[in-house]
Each structure stands twice: as structure tokens, then as C-alpha cells.
Amino acid sequence: MRDSRHDVRAYEEVLQQLGEANSRRLIATPALVCDLGLLRSNIDRMAQLARDAHCTLRPHVKSHKSAYIARQQLNAGAVGLSFAKLGEAEAVVTELNADGDHSSLSVLLTSPLVGRQLAERAADLATRCDLIVVVDHCDGVDELEAAALATDTTIAVLCDVDVGLGRTGVVGPAEALAVAERVSVATRLRFKGVQGYGGHLQHITGREHRRAATISSTTRLRIAIDALESAGFIVAIRSGGGTGTMGLDVEIGVLNELQTGSYVFMDREYSDALGDDPEGRFAQSLTLVTTVISANHDGYVTVDAGLKSMATDAGVPLVVGHEATATYQFFGDEQGMVTCDPHHPFHRGERLELVPPHCDPTVDRYDVIWLVHDDVVVDVIDVTARGRSQ
């Protein structure tokens, strides 16, 4: 556990009453709270959907950054884990290895690495897990090869293909072939397949609109795969997808490995986009608990969750249980405004729960997540990779 928590006494008081009735009321706010039953249900549901689709599941740790949750996903049948950043993988792999023998743990880094230093860190990580790294440039292949040679290890490689997001990835089949050919002559690298992540598809509202966009995006990946296979390369892994497109990815049938992440928690952004679509049928397990600190005005109260307590890229949160009658507005760095019905006002000291607008970057703002069942705190888990953005 970290020692940087702002209220150690309050934290220890909750720990002393784990499993006790009303212990949830002792959590210092603002804080992240996760319903353990709903979390487990979400993990089991996605694992079963992947099995039914005959796809492997490699969930994205960037959503929860927690070794505890990663362990639950592996226990439920995930083939491995996906990480957006090398620092995330280093932190979580270290924690998992400390818990037992995870030398065969399969880890995918989904963002290309640039430069000698990162390549050397990746090669070191490869001595502690079964590492796969995406590459979208031949120089990246050379950097990884040099580092793997120096470390006397082997690294698997996926060619990252731009499927329309425009963020990373080779832009066409010729570039994909160049990367694969460079890997094929390296002595310490192994070509394993492709990645095609459509981040721009995940929050398209309306399943038919999302389907059309996903088909178009996947066609770009299919063209790269066809070119690689025509040249004699075996494209064993075809990794990508996300919570918002999971069902569509399965229907289209090009991907054989899914990188879903936000399904463990969900958030307001996904709720808005997915509605009652099959991809949206996961429970909102994560909420942000906040306390009313001032109630001196008619029509609104001030709470202790402001700009610093959640990611703001996706707008404002929902007020749980009052979605139709109350709205949240940012009211400064440290505070928020929650409107209320004058006939049914919120009171000073009252606790409210918010659905985070975007779960991934919100989680990264907290040291811990409190696991609860109804009004009982059953455990507290570290956000293992908090702040590991390098």
C-alpha cells in the first residue's frame, strides 16, 4: 500500500471495520467505489462471450490499472493482458510475479516504443513474462532487436495497422510487409501477427452506425492481413477491438483476439453511446462517492468532487439515483455543483454517488479503489499502475 494517502487515519479506520455494516460510510471522499459482485459479473460475462465466439480475450489493463483486477481476469480465462504503456506493464507484472509463478504470463504492449532506452526496458520486461510488442516502423524493429540481443532474450512482434484512428500503425499493406520482412531477418524477434485497434469506433452512437464504421475499419486490417499471408507470413494473432465494438468484431470475424477494457467498470460515455445494445449490457460497477459540503442555496448544493477528482474529456457525470432530477456541473478544481429539487433538497453531509464520465483516466487519479457489497466495505485494492504513463 502507498503512504501518500491524504487521510491515513480515515483509511485505517475503514480497514479496521472491513466487513462491518455501514463501513461504506467511513470512506473519505471523494473516492472510487466498486461493487465487487458487479465487477465479478462483468469479468465473467466478457470471458464467456469470448469463449462462445471462439476468440481469445486479452483485456486492457489501462482501464483499471490494478494487479488485483488483472488477476481476476486471468483466473476467468484471459489468455494474457494488454497494456497501453510500458510503465503500466512493468508495475503490474512485478506485482503479479510477486504473488506467484507468472513466468508464462503473456503481455502485449499496444503502443509502439521509440528509442534505445524504452527498447531496453522492454527487453528486460521480456525476461519476466512472455512479451509481445507492437511495431509500426522498421526502426522500431531494429531497436527491439538490438535490445533483445543485449539481454539474451526473445520478443514477439505484432505489426500495428492503422485502421482509421490515425494515431499509430502502418498506413498500408506495403508498410506492413516491410515491418514483417524486417522482423523475419532479426534473430531475437518473432513475427506473430497484427494489431488493428479502432479507438474511434468505440463510442459511435447507434449500433448500425457503429457496425458500418467497424466494417470499414476492419477492411483496412483485412487488406494488410491478405498481403502478409500472400507473402508467406503466418498471421496467428489478429488483436484489437474494444468494449463498444466487441459484438460487432465477433460478427465480422477478422479479429481472433479481443482487447476489451472498460467493460469491468463502464462509464457515462459508454452508457450514452451503447444504450441497450448488446455491447452495453455490462453493469456500472464503478462510482465516485462525493459529500455535500455546502447546502446554503436553493436549487443546488456543493460537493467535494471537482475537476481534480475525475476526467473531464467526456463531459459531466451522472448522479446515481437522481439521473432525471439532478445534474452535476463542475464548480472549480476541488468542488462540483449538484442541482436538486427545492422540495427534495440534498443536505450538508449527505453522500452522493456519481457515474464517472470516462473511467480510464478517472481511475488514474486515485491510489486505491474500495470494493463494496451494499453498505459494507469488503476490501481495498491498489491502483497498481497509477501514473505510469512512460
Here the cell at position 79 is 489468455
Beta-bridge partner residues of 288: 32, 354
pLDDT by position in tens, the chain (length 390): 444 455 677 788 888 888 899 999 999 999 999 999 999 999 999 999 999 999 999 999 999 999 999 999 999 999 999 999 999 999 999 999 987 755 589 999 999 999 999 999 999 999 999 999 999 999 999 999 999 999 999 999 999 999 999 999 999 999 999 999 999 999 999 999 999 999 999 999 999 999 999 999 999 999 999 999 999 999 999 999 999 999 999 999 999 999 999 999 999 999 999 999 999 999 999 999 999 999 999 999 999 999 999 999 999 999 999 999 999 999 999 999 999 988 889 999 999 999 999 999 999 999 999 999 999 999 999 999 999 999
CATH topology of domain 37-267: TIM Barrel (3.20.20)
- Taking phi over 0 as left and psi of -120 to 50 as alpha, with beta for the rest, 374 belongs to left
Q: Is the peptide bond before 345 cis (omega within 30 degrees of 0)?
A: no
E strand intervals along 179-310: 189-196, 237-240, 257-258, 286-297, 300-303
Computed over every residue of the chain, the mean pLDDT equals: 95
**Angle, alpha carbons 141-144-148 (nearest 5°):** 135
Question: What integer pLDDT is reported at residue 156 of this predicted model?
Answer: 98
pTM over 0.85: yes
- Taking phi over 0 as left and psi of -120 to 50 as alpha, with beta for the rest, 189 belongs to beta
Please state, in angstroms and rounded to a whole number, the distance separating the CA atoms of residues 241 and 257. 8
Domain parsing of the chain, residue ranges = 8-34+282-382, 37-267
Beta-bridge partner residues of 381: 369
DSSP states of 77-102 as a string?
T-S-EEESSHHHHHHHHHHHHHTS--
First to last CA, the chain: 21
Half-sphere exposure of 302 (CA within 13 A, CB side): 10
Please state, in angstroms and rounded to a whole number, the distance separating the CA atoms of residues 181 and 179. 5
In angstroms and rounded to an integer, the radius of gyration of the C-alpha atoms of the chain is 22
E strand intervals along the chain: 31-35, 56-57, 81-83, 106-109, 130-135, 155-160, 189-196, 237-240, 257-258, 286-297, 300-303, 318-319, 328-330, 336-339, 351-355, 368-373, 376-382
In this predicted model, what pLDDT tens digit does every residue of 33-58 receive, in sequence order?
Answer: 999 999 999 999 999 999 999 999 99
Say which residues have a Cβ less than 8 Å from residue 120's Cβ, sequence separation at least 6.
Answer: 147, 150, 151
In this predicted model, what pLDDT tens digit does every residue of 77-115 receive, in sequence order?
Answer: 999 999 999 999 999 999 999 877 555 899 999 999 999
Here the cell at position 228 is 502478409
Q: Residue 62, exposed/middle/buried by CB under 10 A (0-12, 13-18, 19+)?
A: buried
Half-sphere exposure of 153 (CA within 13 A, CB side): 20
CATH number for the domain formed by residue range(s) 8-34+282-382 = 2.40.37.20
Give Cα separations from 112 to 137, 138, 140 (angstroms).
Answer: 9, 11, 8
E strand intervals along 267-360: 286-297, 300-303, 318-319, 328-330, 336-339, 351-355
